[in-house]
A and B are shown apart, each in its own frame.
Chain A
Amino acid sequence: DIVLTQSPASLAVSLGQRATISCRASESVDSYGNSFMHWYQQKPGQPPKLLIYRASNLESGIPARFSGSGSRTDFTLTINPVEADDVATYYCQQSNEDPYTFGGGTKLEIK
């Protein structure tokens, strides 16, 4: 199985500043010129919400404050600027190889 390691496990960012979350895969999640890495936001009591698909594509309806980058084994989710509503846990997920796997999550708080 592809193991996804997120860092940090938690971070506190001031309103209006940048938040950066990393996801490292145990092997490449690239195929056919695409990186099959996706990012989700989850708030308590809600299902995860897709933010970014295929590493850098913004899902419909998601604010442009969210962006994704990376390839092969190293990926980044950036939130800039951070707003109060962004308090949540963020997960990466790969769909390049069966079984699909998720990272352990990064909890974002406001400083």
Chain B
Amino acid sequence: DVQLQESGPGLVKPSQSLSLTCTVTGYSITSDYAWNWIRQFPGNKLEWMGYISYSGSTSYNPSLKSRISITRDTSKNQFFLQLNSVTTEDTATYYCARGYDDGFAYWGQGTLVTVSA
């Protein structure tokens, strides 16, 4: 069964970088699909942040393009999110998810990241 699990710090200071890891089990991230980061703000608005595809190509939401990087470690079947220069407005629950044309069928449980001094 495909499972995704986010991990990383729950508290980040303003102006610093947010770094999260998504560990995937039950499916190789190099086989197919896009591997996404999605966040949900307090108040429940959902925002797609970007993905890294099975081939290694990336696509980012233009609203984040200057601050975001998604990379991967295929040997560990993990992919990563880095978001630079965070502000309090980046406080959200961050999800990793598998999907592309057919929607996001598999999600991690999510990790709450709070940006605060």
Contacts and interface: CB of A to CB of B under 8 A. Distances in A.
Interface residues on B, range: 20 to 34
Contacts of A93: 46, 103-104
Interface in B89-110: 95, 97, 99-105, 107-110
A94 to B, nearest CB: 10
B62 interface: yes
B102 A99 contact: no
Given A54-B102, A95-B103, A99-B48, A47 B61 contact: no
Interface stretch (A10-18, A19-27, A69-77, A101-109): A101-109
Contacts of B45: 102, 104
A100 B63 CA distance: 12
Given A89-B44, A105-B44, A47 B108 contact: yes
Nearest to B60: A99
A98 B49 CA distance: 10
B105 A59 contact: yes
Interface in A18-49: 34, 36, 38, 40, 42, 46-49
A36 B102 CA distance: 7
B107 to A, nearest CB: 4
Interface in B44-93: 44-48, 59, 61-63
Interface size of A as a range: 20 to 34
Contact of A101 (B48, B97, B101, B110): B48
A42 B61 CA distance: 23
Contact of B101 (A36, A47, A52, A98): A36
Interface of B: 44-48, 59, 61-63, 95, 97, 99-105, 107-110
23 contacts: A38-B103, A40-B104, A47-B107, A48-B46, A50-B99, A50-B103, A50-B105, A52-B103, A53-B105, A57-B102, A89-B44, A91-B46, A93-B46, A93-B103, A93-B104, A95-B100, A95-B101, A98-B59, A99-B61, A99-B62, A100-B48, A102-B45, A105-B46
